[in-house]
Structure 1
Amino acid sequence: MRLITTGLKQAALLPQQDALVSRLTRALLDNGRDVPVHSAAFRALFDEGPAAFIDRVAPQGLWAQVDRDRLEAELAACVGLDAFDGSARYAPDAHVGNREVFRDPCLGTPGGGNHFVELQVVDEIFDRHAAYRVGLAPGDVVAMIHSGSRDVGFYVGRRWMDRARQAWPAGLKHPTSGLYGLAGSLAHEYLVAMGTAARYAWANRVVLAELVRKELAELCGATASRLVVDVPHNVVLRENGLNIHRKGATPAHHGDLALIPGSMGDASYIVSGLGHTDWLSSCSHGAGRSVRRQALRRLKSDHANAEWRCVTLREERRVEEAPEAYKPIGPVLQAQEEAGLIEAVARLKPWVTFKA
């Protein structure tokens, strides 16, 4: 997940809401982006890391307007990013071939399911010192991005499921669960392949954030945006001699910021981790589902008078991701505060949600 400030108050943006929604819909959902990337830049991302990608990407399309110095400085606010290994040999050939320019159809797209780009408003500050450090004040508009490694992650996942199955000892009954363990050099290789996908996921979130920044700059002249935090979930991180896989959870080390989204009809929270060792310095990634998608389709929800708005090109997504599908965020946050996992920094209320 990635959260950026916009440098604007909601009151200033309200008169231009329709124009902004139209521009962001085209850029985020309707293939209105221009994000050319040379294969050499992708190889640099996978082999060397995010800083090399920022340095190698050519100043064309979106990249001609990107503040590279700001992007490089923002790497310090990316939790766990420097811990991921990577290698171009584990990436799809389309990304690391010899193309002069590759217009990746997935780069800069949110993806399906519960992924989103959401304009939110800072509703309440709980830790004014922490909020001040990252430039947040009540009434500010921020953009929260939830997206991952898209087709690169799918490619890595399918490839390693096949490799794990092939490596299963001959004559040993295959697990009925369909889950295969990895050990030794194969496990190490997988972690590098996973890191390759995680580096791509970072780049995807960067592009989504820069698309938002571009549209705000062109429409409103906004240039004071800054990164609050970029934080992973559903990945393995090497910490204290352990391989910690946070499924449905996110790092919450002492003093580090984390993001806990609610739903597109409920608040999201910026929190500060307390590094609770019993919980492996983790907190929940979100509110969590209360109703399966199939059951939710039978419900008829009326959100006509809601203060928030959902923009999607697929009507079924509006139903599947309705607020009724998720637990209320309040009790989820309270339980983790009482357990000593986190402290709330700020509450963000949804304004406009973009879902693919």
Structure 2
Amino acid sequence: MYHPKVTRISGTRLRVQHPSDVPVTLFARPDVPLEDRAVDELLRLLDSQGDLPSPARLQRVALTPDFHRGSGIPVGTVLQADGFLLPGAVGHDVGCGMRLHLTSLRREDVAPHLDRLERRLRALFFEGGRQIAMTGRQRQALLQGGVSSLLGLPGTGGLWDGLARQDPQREQERCDHTAQLRTPWLSPPQLGALRDWIGAPDDLTYDSQIGSLGGGNHFAEVQVVHRIIDPRAAHQWGIREGLVTVMIHSGSLGVGHWAGQLAARTARDAWPAGLPRPRSGVFPVMQDAAPDALRAVQSALQMAANFAAVNRLWLGQMTRAGLEEACGEMDFPLLYDAAHNFIWPEDGRWIHRKGAAPARGFAQMQDTPFAYTGEPVLVPGSMGASSFILAGRGNPEALWSASHGAGRQQARGDAMRGSQAEFSAFLEAFRVVTPLDWRRARPDIRERKRTELMQEAPFAYKGVGPVVETLREAGLAEPVAELRPLLTVKG
């Protein structure tokens, strides 16, 4: 049985009923679990449609198969808005997204060296081995220009040497524009605590944010191409069976939290006097009525998105360094990088994606390397499960979007009350690299870490297979290849 406000209208589509005239389509096959609490959360947001001053309006809502409860707005929600921005629609992990690198290694090159690789990745990610020193000028440049700015900056030793080997043109061509946004600088009062992270212009320092995965479902994973599903697209993208790949899922960390707080505060302060406050508690910014607030919100969100993309770039370089130390020098071309928590301009309107990947088709990807395939869409499964690379089909009913993962079916608290025996068996069978060396730690410390990791246990997530099949059958994205993990790094 579905939520009383949800009605199935086809094998892959459901309609969410509510008082306003905004069309809401939820994409899910019958074998994809749906969460009533997520529907209730969405309905509270839709109730605020009546609070918008004319002519601003919400035009369409699309919900991807990984739809589940979030914080104020469900994960897997895509909103098309005319005349306003809704910064709360992307949460505080602004610019969170996915990156995928191909390598010149094959499974047989890596499999014999997994123990050494695990040790090196633990040192790089958690034991001070990443060595990414930057000046205040470099930090400001990456906030204002993202990946494009970073690639043009000279670095000093450490991982900068590996970054210099990346092809800058390929990096820029294969990043969504959210990774390289030209952004005006905010005023000092608006920057607040971010000034401490930037530091003095010429001081070369290390910090605890760049090169950090963050928590939750973020990861860096060494994978192998298990199966080619679309040979034509796979050939164009350089994907071959048995090839080793690196997938990164991470966001904007403390910078995103700063941006989310600044955007929410600015939106609240700019709300027109005399109008009822939005019932959802999520304040929009009116495009025409509050242009200064709109610019400040855009700048803050763009800085966080630039930071998130640069952070994924560094996380990729850290994984590359570990692989090369364990297995020898290799090629490391980028396939694609895109955010799934952001606000995109689209034909004079705004597309808000909260945990939903852009999945644009041939027409929208002209003048890019993906004009004949559609946009790459990266859909990871739960920890230890397969991930999929898909090609976007630019479905307008889905607002040119697709899932960003399998999606949770249990809240983190519920997952921690799951089967201890089942999760212990999983950890014994699968390599998860954490700050804790699993084989050497004391039993009580291992127990605490296992309890924490259970929040991301496989049984807490939907099966990725039905999610990917929904995307295919509904015409949102076409599967290209299946990837299976060799090793996962979790914060």
TM-score (norm 2): 0.69
1:147 aligned to which of 244, 247, 250: 250
User: Is the 1:312–1:354 Cα contact (8 Å) retained in structure 2?
Assistant: yes
Q: Structure 1: which 5+ residue stretches go unaligned?
A: none
1:189-208 aligned within 5 A:
189-208=296-315
- Structure 1 CA distance for aligned equivalents of residues 199 and 342 of structure 2: 23
1:8 aligned to which of 74, 81, 105: 105
1:102-251 aligned within 5 A:
102-170=205-273, 172-183=275-286, 184-185=290-291, 186-251=293-358
Aligned residues: 356
Which amino acid is 1:277 matched to? P
Residue aligning to 2:387: 268
* Structure 2 SS opposite 1:352: strand
Distance 1:281 1:71, change over 3 A: same
Deviates more, 1:56-65 or 1:322-331: 56-65
Which amino acid is 2:223 matched to? Q
Which amino acid is 1:315 matched to? R
Structure number with bigger Rg: 2
2:118 aligned to which of 21, 27, 47: 21
Deviates more, 1:60-69 or 1:320-329: 60-69
User: Is the 2:146–2:309 Cα contact (8 Å) retained in structure 1?
Assistant: no
Residue aligning to 1:286: 405
**Pairwise CA RMSD:** 2.0
Distance 1:153 1:99, change over 3 A: farther
Which amino acid is 1:337 matched to? R
Distance 1:211 1:181, change over 3 A: same
Distance 1:9 1:83, change over 3 A: closer
* Structure 1 SS opposite 2:321: helix
Distance 1:47 1:133, change over 3 A: same
User: Is the 2:105–2:330 Cα contact (8 Å) retained in structure 1?
Assistant: no
Residue aligning to 2:376: 257
| Percent identical residues | 37
Q: CA deviation at 1:344?
A: 0.3
Deviates more, 1:275-284 or 1:174-183: 174-183
Residue aligning to 2:461: 326
2:130 aligned to which of 30, 33, 48: 33
User: Is the 2:221–2:486 Cα contact (8 Å) retained in structure 1?
Assistant: yes
CA shift digits 1:54-80 (9 cap, x unpaired): 112423321133235514422111123
Q: CA deviation at 1:138?
A: 1.4
User: Is the 1:234–1:248 Cα contact (8 Å) retained in structure 2?
Assistant: yes
Residue aligning to 2:164: 67
- Structure 1 CA distance for aligned equivalents of residues 452 and 221 of structure 2: 15
Residue 304 in 1 paired to residue 425 in 2?
Answer: yes
- Structure 2 CA distance for aligned equivalents of residues 14 and 234 of structure 1: 34
2:488 aligned to which of 337, 344, 353: 353
Q: CA deviation at 1:282?
A: 0.7
Deviates more, 1:303-312 or 1:269-278: 303-312
Q: CA deviation at 1:178?
A: 2.4
Q: CA deviation at 1:181?
A: 1.5
- Structure 2 CA distance for aligned equivalents of residues 64 and 121 of structure 1: 26
Q: CA deviation at 1:99?
A: 4.3
Distance 1:182 1:61, change over 3 A: same
Deviates more, 1:203-212 or 1:54-63: 54-63
Q: CA deviation at 1:48?
A: 4.0
Q: CA deviation at 1:172?
A: 4.8
Residue aligning to 1:342: 477
Which amino acid is 2:254 matched to? D
* Structure 1 SS opposite 2:302: helix
- Structure 2 CA distance for aligned equivalents of residues 29 and 71 of structure 1: 28
* Structure 1 SS opposite 2:402: strand
TM-score (norm 1): 0.93
Q: CA deviation at 1:219?
A: 2.6
- Structure 2 CA distance for aligned equivalents of residues 166 and 45 of structure 1: 28
Deviates more, 1:17-26 or 1:91-100: 91-100
Residue aligning to 2:177: 80
Distance 1:263 1:69, change over 3 A: closer
- Structure 2 CA distance for aligned equivalents of residues 316 and 80 of structure 1: 38
- Structure 1 CA distance for aligned equivalents of residues 211 and 238 of structure 2: 25
Q: CA deviation at 1:49?
A: 4.4
- Structure 2 CA distance for aligned equivalents of residues 66 and 47 of structure 1: 19
Q: Structure 2: which 5+ residue stretches go unaligned?
A: 1-97, 362-373, 436-448
Distance 1:63 1:72, change over 3 A: farther
Which amino acid is 2:316 matched to? A
- Structure 2 CA distance for aligned equivalents of residues 291 and 150 of structure 1: 24
Distance 1:226 1:293, change over 3 A: same
